[in-house]
Amino acid sequence: MISLQSYHTFSLPSGCESLIVIEDPKELVQLNYDQAFFLLGEGSNTIFLEDYAGVVIKLATSGVNIEARDDHYLIRAAAGENWHQLVLTLLEQGIGGLENLALIPGTVGAAPVQNIGAYGVEVSQYITAVTGFDITQGHFTTLSSTECQFGYRDSVFKHRLKDKFIITEVTFALPICWQPKLSYGPLQNLSGAATAKDVCDAVIAIRNSKLPDPCKLANAGSFFKNPIVDKAFAVQLQSMFPDMPVFKVDENSVKLAAGWLIDKAGLKGCQRGTIRVYEQQALVLVHEGGSSGADLKQLVSHIQRTVWQKFAVKLEHEVRLIAKQGECQLQSVECHENI
What pLDDT sits at residue 332? Answer: 59
What pLDDT sits at residue 336? Answer: 46
Task: Give me the residues of the chain with pLDDT under 50, please.
Answer: 333, 336-339
What pLDDT sits at residue 334? Answer: 54
Answer yes or no: are the C-beta atoms of 258 and 227 closer than 8 Å: yes
Q: Could you tell me the domains of the chain?
A: 2-59 (3.30.43.10), 64-206 (3.30.465.10), 213-338 (3.90.78.10)
pTM beyond 0.85: yes
Answer yes or no: are the C-beta atoms of 190 and 196 closer than 8 Å: no
Active site residues: 153, 222, 318
Rounded Cα distance, 175 and 196, in Å = 12
Rounded Cα distance, 228 and 98, in Å = 24
